């Protein structure tokens, strides 16, 4: 099945800093999503981005499908950005998730 | 538009018992899929239903089963519970065919004692 790798696994930043999270996948895909898991466990949709670039406020994402990677950018981080960020791709085995990036934003 | 609703939110069961979890998808969505999240294994796909038919199944034992009703609501059942079944179970709904955007519910946290 598809392999999904996320980096870095952990990231600690000061409030106001920018960050880049990476997602590599092993096969061509027609669906890539980024999620933020809140403290209660719910996966919050950030981007549905099979290819190209999208922006939503301080967050943006880019997927280069031909090179099998996607990047999530967070600018001017706030403490509320803390949590685990997952990317997931659709394949024969449902959505395959990476292990996530655990982001901590310190005040 | 209401989101994906999962019930119950929390559940404590004893080893050997069975449990049924429920998921109501976003109105109009016909695809419902289930995932198990544990600290050791991360998020793993259980199965997906589309228009009452199981379309895909993950690598889980037969104790895990599910179904989907004509109104697209889905239930997941785990029989003969084991301690290792303790996990967060997440349900996702999607509007169309494979690869469309999935939206998740708040999850059911199951503890097996």
Question: What would the pLDDT profile of A1-32 be if each residue is shown by its tens digit?
Answer: 889 999 999 999 999 999 999 999 998 887 89
How many whole angstroms separate alpha carbon A48 and alpha carbon B18?
Answer: 36
Chain B within 8 Å of A33 (Cβ-Cβ)? yes
What whole-number percentage of chain A has pLDDT above 70?
Answer: 100
Chain B within 8 Å of A39 (Cβ-Cβ)? no
How many whole angstroms separate alpha carbon A103 and alpha carbon B100?
Answer: 27
Is there a contact between B102 and A96 if contact means CB atoms under 8 Å apart?
no
Of B42, B30, B40, B18, the residue nearest B90 (C-alpha):
B42
Residues B54-68 have a mean pLDDT of 95
Flag whether pLDDT at A67 surpasses 90: yes
Q: For residue range B2-24, what is the model confidence (pLDDT) as tens digits?
A: 799 999 999 999 999 999 999 99
**At residue B90, what are phi and psi to the nearest 5 degrees?**
-115, 140
What is the structure's pLDDT at A63? Answer: 96
What is the structure's pLDDT at B95? Answer: 87
Which H or E element spans position B50?
Answer: strand B42-50
What is the structure's pLDDT at B13? Answer: 98
What is the structure's pLDDT at B99? Answer: 78
Chain B residue closest to A30 (CA)? B99
- Residues in chain B, total: 113
Residues B49-58 have a mean pLDDT of 92
What is the structure's pLDDT at A20? Answer: 97
Q: Which of A33, A42, A86 faces B101 most closely, judged by CB atoms?
A: A33
Quote the radius of gyration of chain A (alpha carbons, Å): 13
Flag whether pLDDT at B1 surpasses 80: no
In terms of Cβ atoms closer than 10 Å to its own Cβ (0-12, 13-18, 19+), residue B110 is buried
Chain B residue closest to A40 (CA)? B106
What is the structure's pLDDT at B97? Answer: 67
Enter the tokens of residue B9: 């939110």
Chain A residue closest to B4 (CA)? A42
How many whole angstroms separate alpha carbon A70 and alpha carbon A53?
Answer: 10
Residues B16-45 have a mean pLDDT of 96
Q: For residue range A72-92, what is the model confidence (pLDDT) as tens digits?
A: 999 999 999 999 999 999 887
């Amino acid at each position: 099945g598809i392999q999904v790798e996320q980096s870095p696994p952990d990231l600690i930043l000061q409030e106001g800093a920018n960050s880049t999270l990476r997602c590599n996948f092993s096969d061509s895909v027609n669906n890539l999503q980024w999620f933020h898991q809140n403290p209660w466990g719910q996966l919050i949709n950030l981007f549905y981005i099979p290819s190209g670039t999208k922006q939503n406020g301080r967050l943006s994402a880019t997927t280069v499908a031909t090179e099998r990677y996607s990047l999530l950018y967070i600018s001017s981080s706030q403490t509320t950005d803390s949590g685990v960020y997952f990317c997931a791709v659709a394949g024969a085995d449902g959505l395959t998730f990476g292990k996530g990036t655990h982001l901590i934003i310190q005040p | 538009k209401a989101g994906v609703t999962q019930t119950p939110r929390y559940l404590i069961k004893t080893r050997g018992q069975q449990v049924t979890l429920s998921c109501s998808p976003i109105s109009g969505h016909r695809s419902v899929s289930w995932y198990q999240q544990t600290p050791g294994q991360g998020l793993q796909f259980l199965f997906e239903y589309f228009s009452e038919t199981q379309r895909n199944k993950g690598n889980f034992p037969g104790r895990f089963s599910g179904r989907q009703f004509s109104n697209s609501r889905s239930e997941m059942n785990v029989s003969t519970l084991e301690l290792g079944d303790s996990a967060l179970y997440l349900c996702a709904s999607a509007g169309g065919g494979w690869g469309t955007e999935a939206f998740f519910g708040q999850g059911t946290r199951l503890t097996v004692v």
